[in-house]
A and B are shown apart, each in its own frame.
Chain A
Amino acid sequence: MKYPAFLIVAAFLCTALASALARAEAQSIRIVATTTDLADITRAICGDLAVVSSITTGQEDPHALSAKPGFVVSARDADLWVRIGMELEIGWEGPILRDSRNRRIQVGAPGHLDASTNVIRLDVPTQAITRAMGDVHPMGNPHYWLDPLNGRIVAKTIADKLCELYPQHQNAFQQNLRDFQNDLDNHMFGQPLVTRFGGAKLWRFLNDGTIKQLLATADLGAGDGWYGLLEPYAGSHIVTYHRSWIYLLERFNLPVLAEMEPLPGVPPSGRHLAKLAQDMRDKQVRVILQEPFYNRKAADLLAKRSNATVIVHANACAGSAEATSYLAMLDSVIRGLHNALSNDTPQP
Chain B
Amino acid sequence: MLKLTQRLAFLSLVVAFSVLIVPAARTQEPATQDLAQVLRTLSQQIQDIKKEHAAAIQAMQREIDALKAQLQQQTAQTAPPAADTSVPAAPIAPITPATPAVSRDEDEQQLYAAIKSSAAAMLPATPVPGVDLDASVIIDGFYHYDNHKLGVSHLKNSLAGFSHAHDHDDAGHDHEHSVIEDGFNLRHLELGLSAAVDPYFTAWTTLAFDDHASEVEEAVIQSSSLPWGLTLSAGKIKSGIGRMNRQHSHNWDFFDQPLVYDAFFGDHGLTDKGLQLTWLAPTPFYVLLGAEAFQGNHETVANYLGSDPFPRHNGPRLWTSFLKVGPQLDDQHALQFGLSYVQGRHQEEEDHDGHTHYFNGYNRIYGADVVYKYDAKRPHGQGDVVLQGEFFHRERNLELLNNGQDYNNSQNGYYLQALYGFKPRWRVGARWEQLGVTNDVHDVHDGKLSYGASNRTSAMLDWKLSEFSLVRMQATQGNFATAHGREEFWEFIMQLQISIGKHAAHDF
**Chain A residues within CB distance 8 Å of chain B:** 3, 5-6, 8-10, 12-13, 16-17, 19-21, 23, 57, 59-61, 64, 66-70, 72-73, 76-77, 90-95, 98-101, 103, 106, 118-121, 124-126, 131, 134-135, 149, 153, 156, 198-201, 203-204, 207-208, 265-267, 293-295
Contact A93 B505 (CB under 8 A): yes
- Contact check, A94 vs B504: say whether CB atoms are below 8 A apart: yes
Q: Does B480 contact A (CB under 8 A)?
A: no
Binds A, one of B15-23, B151-159, B227-235, B400-408: B227-235
By CB atoms of chain A within 10 A, which of B119, B291, B375, B379 has the most? B379
Q: Is the CB of B282 within 8 A of A101?
A: no
Q: In the assembled complex, which residues on chain A have CB atoms less than 8 Å from the CB atom of B507?
A: 67, 95, 99
Q: Which B-chain residue is minimally distant from A181 (CB atoms)?
A: B108
Residue in A6, A17, A120, A121 whose Cβ sees the most chain B Cβ within 10 Å: A6
The distance from the CB of A260 to the nearest CB of chain B, in whole angstroms, is 13
| Interchain CA distance A227-B255 in the complex, whole Å | 55
List chain A residues, Cβ under 8 A from B334. 66, 68-70
Q: Which 10 A-B pairs give the minimum distances between C-beta atoms?
A: A69-B326, A69-B286, A200-B107, A95-B507, A68-B334, A9-B321, A198-B104, A60-B377, A200-B111, A201-B107
Asked if A293 meets B505 with Cβ closer than 8 Å, knowing A72-B280, A131-B468, A200-B108, the reply is: no
Decide if A207 touches B118 in the complex (CB within 8 Å). yes
B206 in the interface, Cβ–Cβ < 8 Å? no
B224 touches A98 (CB 8 A): yes
Interface residues, chain B, with chain A CB atoms under 8 Å away: 100, 103-104, 107-108, 110-112, 114-116, 118-119, 122-124, 202, 224-231, 279-286, 289, 291, 293, 319-321, 324, 326, 328-329, 331, 334, 336, 341, 343, 373, 375, 377-381, 384, 424-425, 466-468, 504-508
Closest to B326 in A: A69
Residue in contact with B229 in the complex, picked from A76, A266, A267, CB distance below 8 Å = A76
Given contacts A57-B331, A59-B377, A200-B108, contact A20 B118 (CB under 8 A): no
- Other-chain residue from A57, A76, A118 in contact with B377 (beta carbon distance below 8 A): A57
Nearest-Cβ distance from residue A7 to partner chain B, whole angstroms? 10
Total contacts A to B, CB within 8 angstroms? 172
- Return the chain A residue nearest B55 by Cβ: A171
Q: Which residues of B contact A208 (CB under 8 A)?
A: 114
Check B377 against A120 for contact (C-beta < 8 Å): no
A124, B110: Cβ atoms closer than 8 Å: no
Q: Is the CB of A294 within 8 A of B326?
A: no
A265 and B377 in contact, given A9-B321, A207-B118 (Cβ under 8 angstroms): no
Which residue of the partner chain B has the closest CB to A267? B424
- Chain A residue numbers with a CB within 8 Å of B384 are 66
Q: Which of B110, B228, B280, B506 has the most CB of A within 10 A?
A: B280
Q: Are B373 and A66 in contact, with the CB atoms below 8 A?
A: yes
Say yes or no: A99-B280 contact (C-beta < 8 A), given A5-B343, A92-B505, A204-B111.
yes
Partner of B424, one of A60, A124, A295: A295
State the CA gap A73–B327 with chains docked (Å).
10
Contact B107 A118 (CB under 8 A): no
B112 touches A156 (CB 8 A): yes
Q: How far is the CB of B365 from chain A (nearest CB, A)?
A: 11
Can you list 29 contacts pairing A with B, beta carbon distance less than 8 Å?
A5-B341, A5-B343, A6-B291, A9-B291, A13-B291, A17-B228, A20-B228, A64-B380, A67-B508, A69-B324, A69-B326, A69-B334, A70-B334, A72-B286, A76-B229, A93-B505, A94-B504, A94-B505, A95-B507, A101-B226, A101-B229, A103-B224, A103-B225, A118-B112, A199-B104, A200-B104, A201-B110, A204-B107, A208-B114
